[in-house]
Amino acid sequence: MSEEPGLGAVLDVLSDEYAREILAATSVKPMSAQQLAEACEMSEPTVYRRIERLREYDLLGERTEIRDDGNHHSVYTATLSELSVELDEGTFEATVQRRDTASFPGQQEDDTADRFASMWENL
Amino acid sequence: MAGISVVVEWAIVGLAFGSTLVGGYVGYQAYRGYRRHDSRAMRALSLGLVLLTTVAFGIAFGGSVLLRQGYLALDYQPALTLVTRSLQFLGVILIAYSLHSRV
């Protein structure tokens, strides 16, 4: 658990429909900005603005992929898994749960065979 | 000079044996992956790896011992090589198949 920025700010980011669409899409699989623009039918500048805001609050993970032709491009994965807001005794308590973004499928697995199966099947 | 050639021969046998052990280990982990996930891709991969390393080497090594000891006529050497190469080929075919098997 990292220290949470203000609840208001996080709710503000998530109140934006485009930002939510980007999170929804990247919770399925890592996507580049171009792919997001196509999949969510937004302009690329819109996508980049939302990505920047989501990155600011650590709701979106970024990693660089290198393609066969040597070109680098960033792909994004939703790190947000759950946001809960609790009201108790006059104070709001917000908890953001984040998932680890594995750089390859099965990275979190402890058992070699599980890691192997997961990697191999997702090649 | 004779000493060097003996060392080289043993190094070749040792390396081949090492490859077999490591290949067998990778094949074994793939087999465990198949058992734990009931995955056909992992089954093909483990079979392929075992054929490519353990089985092919075992037959080649066993065959060469039999040839040297004179249990097998030298005429059988091409056939033995053919069997070994066929198993290795089947092994890589299985691995290629497992790459594209989505179950």
CB B97 within 8 A of CB B44: yes
Residue A29 has pLDDT above 80, yes or no: yes
| Total residue count of chain A as it appears in this document | 123
Give the Cα separation of B88 and B98 in Å (integer): 15
> What confidence score (pLDDT) does residue B93 get?
96
Q: How many domains does chain A have?
A: 1
Q: Do A113 and B98 touch (CB under 8 A)?
A: no
Global confidence as pTM: 0.59
Q: Evaluate if residue B103 carries a pLDDT over 70.
A: no
Domain that holds residue A37: 7-100
First vs last C-alpha separation in chain A: 31
Domain containing residue B73:
2-101
Q: Chain A residue with minimal CA distance to B43?
A: A117
For the residues A6-28, what does the mean pLDDT come to? 91
- From A86's Cα to the closest Cα of chain B, the distance in A is 39
Q: Which two tokens stand for residue A93?
A: 């308590």
List b or e across B3-15, with b for residues whose CB sees 16 or more CB atoms inside 10 angstroms.
eeeeeeeeeeeee
Residue A46 has what pLDDT? 93
Give residue A7's identity as a one-letter amino acid code: L
Q: What is the pLDDT, as a whole number, of residue A102?
A: 66
The domain that holds A13 is classified in CATH as: 1.10.10.10
What is the DSSP secondary structure assignment for residue B55, as one 8-state letter?
A: I
Long-range contacts of B28-31 (CB under 8 A, 24+ apart): B29/A112, B29/A113, B29/A116, B30/A113, B30/A116, B30/A117, B30/A120
Asked if B33 reaches chain A (Cβ–Cβ under 8 Å), the answer is: yes
Number of domains in chain B: 1
In a domain, residue A122? The reply is no
Q: Is residue A115 part of a domain?
A: no
Residue of B nearest to A114 (CA): B33
Name the more confident of B43 and A94.
B43
Q: What contacts A49, CB < 8 A, 6 or more positions away?
A: none
The three-state DSSP-derived secondary structure of chain A is CCCCCCHHHHHHHHCCHHHHHHHHHHCCCCEEHHHHHHHCCCCHHHHHHHHHHHHHCCCEEEEEEECCCCCEEEEEEECEEEEEEEEECCEEEEEEEECCCCCCCCCCCCCHHHHHHHHHHCC
Flag whether A119 is in a domain.
Answer: no
Taking CB atoms and an 8 Å cutoff, what residues of chain B touch A112? 29, 32
Cβ–Cβ gap B42/A116 under 8 Å: yes
Name, in order, each residue with C-beta under 8 angstroms of B18's C-beta and a sequence gap of 6 or more. Answer: none
